């Protein structure tokens, strides 16, 4: 039985992993370059994933069985799609939920107006 001791460290650190997991969950499959450009567009350039961070992480996720890959040849170029495994889907859901929860917690510290309650409701 799991009794909420504390957020895991990786989630407090690093937003890259939850972002990737979310996008893969949503899009079905994506290739590396597509992830960086999608995030760039979604965030209006505010978040630009570097290749040095992305590719090693994708490889790690693959080694851990969280994603599998499908290679496709686009002309003479190789494109490597990443897909969540069934296990990866579970992990993705959990990781995203945990991160959203974490943000509520952080926000309650950084932005107390977000939590104003009226009356005696708690």
| Site residues (vs DNA, CB under 7 A) | 9-10, 12-17, 31-34, 37, 49-53, 55-59, 74-80
Q: Are the C-beta atoms of residues 82 and 30 closer than 8 Å to each other?
A: yes
Tell me the two tokens of residue 59. Answer: 């490889």
Angle at 11 between CA 53 and CA 51, to 5 degrees: 10
Q: Are the C-beta atoms of residues 66 and 88 closer than 8 Å to each other?
A: yes
**Contacted entry of DNA, its own copies, none for residue 52, CB cut-off 5 to 8 Å set by kind:** DNA
Interface residues with its own copies (CB under 8 A) are: 4-7, 12-15, 18-19, 22-23, 39, 42-48, 96, 99-100, 102-103, 105-111
**Contacted entry of its own copies, DNA, none for residue 122, CB cut-off 5 to 8 Å set by kind:** none
For residue 121, the minimal CB distance to DNA (Å) is 29
Nearer to its own copies, 4 or 63 (CB): 4
What is the full DSSP assignment across 8-38? -HHHHS-SHHHHHHHHHHHHSEEEHHHHHHH
């Amino acid at each position: 039985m799991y009794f909420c001791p504390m957020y895991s460290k990786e989630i407090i650190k690093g937003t890259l992993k939850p972002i990737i997991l979310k996008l893969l969950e949503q899009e079905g499959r994506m290739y590396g370059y597509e992830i960086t450009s999608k995030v760039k567009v979604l965030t209006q350039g505010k978040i630009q994933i570097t290749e040095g961070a992305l590719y090693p992480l994708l490889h790690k996720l693959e080694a851990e069985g969280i994603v599998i890959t499908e290679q496709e040849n686009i002309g003479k170029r190789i494109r490597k799609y990443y897909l969540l495994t069934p296990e990866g889907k579970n992990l993705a859901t959990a990781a995203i939920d945990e991160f959203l929860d974490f943000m509520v917690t952080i926000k309650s510290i950084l932005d107390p107006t977000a939590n104003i309650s009226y009356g005696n409701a708690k």
